[in-house]
């Protein structure tokens, strides 16, 4: 049986936190007859610096669900620094599961892919990383805003052209990794606190030769998103250039080691 830690990084998510956790718990309970023989779950809310009532909602949910048995546990981690990167790192470092990953609290990726994720990890021991993709030819994407399509496609072009990314999507909001490999990648990655951390996490997995399953998914746009598009684009461009320099330096050191 696999133990799976699902991380939910949240920042000022008082409008979506309760709905997202309840939907996830309801799905896991409703499908227990299909899943309980194969997995047990810990849902970890990782709050990174919220200044609204998100921590209060998280605490209430933990208390409400503490009577559940070992099939599902809900826990809460509070961080004072903001950023998905720091939230994900903290979640991995505190994980004890066989598999650790994160889902966006808006559940834009259809929650039913949890079952497929478990099946893949069980049947394919060679696969250590599952990366959901909105841009696979087999994916079903609904409600995507035109300007977000442009920014996402532009990001992919840059990642593939400058950093050699092989996967068809970088940050779909549904990523799961076997814990030993996840811990290794955390040690390798920079300390970037933002969304780009998850991109670097994927790129380093590719460079390390990890077997990655690029999983087509059904994905629906959440119109209550809190992402600041201009700020995010600026951050991506800065970090792409930073990572390119790091990769060149690392490759140079490897070359010197091999010929030395």
In the prediction, which pLDDT does 147 show? Answer: 74
Helix, strand, coil percent values for the chain (each to nearest 5): 45, 20, 30
Q: Judge contact between 89 and 202, C-beta under 8 A.
A: no
In the prediction, which pLDDT does 70 show? Answer: 87
In the prediction, which pLDDT does 227 show? Answer: 61
Query: What residues are paired with 178 via a beta bridge?
Result: 99
- Residue 170 CB neighbour total at 10 angstroms: 27
In the prediction, which pLDDT does 145 show? Answer: 79
Spell out, as residue ranges, where the chain has pLDDT lower than 50: none
Domain range for 137:
2-259
Question: What is the C-alpha to C-alpha distance for residues 136 and 110, in angstroms, rounded to an integer?
Answer: 15
Inter-axis angle of helices 179-188 and 84-94, nearest 10: 130
The three-state secondary structure class of 14 is coil
Domain count, the chain: 1
In the prediction, which pLDDT does 260 show? Answer: 60
Rounded to two decimals, the pTM is 0.93
DSSP state of 65: T
Q: Which residues of 104-122 are buried (b: 16+ CB within 10 A; e: fewer)?
A: bbbbbbebebbbbbbeebe
Q: Judge contact between 176 and 130, C-beta under 8 A.
A: yes
What's the token pair of residue 129?
A: 């990383």
In the prediction, which pLDDT does 224 show? Answer: 60
Q: Which residue has the tokens 């921590």?
A: 55
Q: Which CATH number does the domain housing residue 226 bear?
A: 3.90.550.10
Query: What residues are paired with 100 via a beta bridge?
Result: 5, 177
Segment holding 5, helix H or strand E:
strand 2-10
């Amino acid at each position: 049986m696999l133990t799976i830690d699902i991380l939910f990084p949240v920042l000022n998510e008082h409008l979506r936190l309760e709905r997202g956790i309840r939907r996830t718990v309801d799905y896991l309970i409703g499908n227990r007859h299909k899943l309980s023989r194969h997995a047990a779950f810990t849902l970890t809310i990782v709050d990174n610096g919220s200044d609204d009532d998100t921590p209060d909602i998280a605490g209430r949910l933990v208390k409400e669900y503490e009577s559940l048995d070992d099939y599902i546990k809900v826990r809460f981690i509070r961080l004072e620094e903001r950023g998905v990167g720091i939230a994900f790192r903290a979640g991995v470092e505190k994980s004890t599961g066989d598999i650790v990953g994160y889902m966006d609290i808006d559940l834009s990726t259809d929650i039913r892919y949890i079952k497929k994720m478990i099946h893949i990890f069980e049947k394919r021991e060679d696969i250590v990383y599952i990366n959901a993709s909105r841009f696979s030819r087999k994916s079903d994407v609904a409600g995507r805003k035109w300007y977000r399509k442009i920014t996402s496609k532009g990001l992919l072009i840059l990642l593939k052209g400058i950093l050699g990314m092989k996967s068809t999507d970088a940050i779909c909001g549904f990523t799961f990794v076997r814990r030993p490999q996840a811990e290794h990648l955390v040690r390798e990655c920079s300390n970037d606190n933002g969304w780009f951390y998850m991109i670097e996490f994927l790129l380093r997995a590719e460079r390390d030769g990890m077997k990655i399953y690029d999983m087509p998914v059904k994905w629906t746009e959440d119109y209550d998103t809190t992402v600041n598009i201009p700020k995010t684009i600026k951050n991506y461009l800065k970090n792409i250039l930073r990572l390119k320099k790091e990769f060149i330096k690392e490759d140079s050191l490897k070359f010197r080691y091999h010929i030395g």
